[in-house]
């Protein structure tokens, strides 16, 4: 069980890292808009620019 002496402090460090990540996310405005991302996933536009769009209703 000696590994616990490493893992438990490691989990503390990890928690701090996750906390910092959340902080950066909030600062970056990632929680400002929770509606658009839902759309952005459905409509990924990897299609090269210039290719004609599909007809509506198709």
Partner 1 sequence: MDCRHCGLPSPVGAVFCCPGCEAVSSAIGALGLGDYYRLRTAPAPAPPARGEELSGFDDPAFQASFVRAIGEGVSEAQLLIEGMRCAACGWLVEHALARTPGVESATVTFGSRKVRIRWSAASTRLSAILEAIRAVGYVAWPYEPGRVALVEERERRSALRRLWIAGLGMMQVMMYAVPAYLADAGEMTPDIEQLMRWSGLVLTVPVVAYSAAPFLRGAWRDLRLARLGMDVPVALGIAVAFVASAYATAAGSGAVYFDSITMFVFLLLGGRYLELLARSRAGRALQHLARLEPRTAQRLLDAQGHATEAVPAARLAPGDRVLVRSGETLPADGELEGPEALVSQAWLSGESRPLARCPGDPLLGGSINAGRALVLRVTRAGTETSLAAIQRMMERAIEERAPWVAAAQRASGAFVAGVIAAAFLAGILWWPVDPDRALWIAVSVLVVTCPCALALATPAALTVATGALAQRNFVVARAGAIERLATATDFVFDKTGTLTEGEPRLVAVTPLGRDDEPRCRALAAALARPSSHPLDRAIARAAPDAAIAGARDHASVPGDGVEAWVGDRRLRMGRAGFVAALHQHPVPTLEADDSVTTVWLGDPTGWIAALRLGDALRSDAHAAVAVLRARGIALHLLTGDADSIAQRVARSLGIAHVEAQASPARKLAYVRELQSRGARVAMVGDGINDAPGMGQADVSIAMGGGADLAQVRADAVLLSNSLADLAAAAQIARRTRAVIRQNLAWALAYNAIVIPLAFAGAVTPLLAGVAMSASSLLVVANALRLRR
**Using CB under 8 A as the criterion, which residues of the chain lie in contact with partner 1 when the complex forms?**
1, 4-5, 8-9, 11-12, 15, 18-19, 22-23, 26-27, 29, 31-36, 38-40, 42-43, 45, 47, 49-57
DSSP helix/strand/coil, 49: coil
Closest-CA residue to 43 (of 34, 53, 33)? 53
Residue 6: CB minimum distance to partner 1, A = 11
Question: Which distant-in-sequence residues (6+ apart) come within 8 Å of 25 by Cβ?
Answer: 31
The answer to whether the CB of 44 falls within 8 A of the CB of 38 is no
Residue 53: CB minimum distance to partner 1, A = 3
Residue 32: CB minimum distance to partner 1, A = 5
């Amino acid at each position: 069980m000696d590994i616990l002496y490493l893992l438990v402090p490691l989990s503390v460090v990890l928690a701090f890292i996750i906390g910092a990540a959340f902080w950066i996310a909030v600062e970056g405005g990632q929680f400002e808009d929770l509606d658009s991302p839902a759309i952005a996933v459905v409509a990924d536009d990897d299609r090269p620019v210039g290719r004609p769009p599909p007809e509506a209703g198709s």
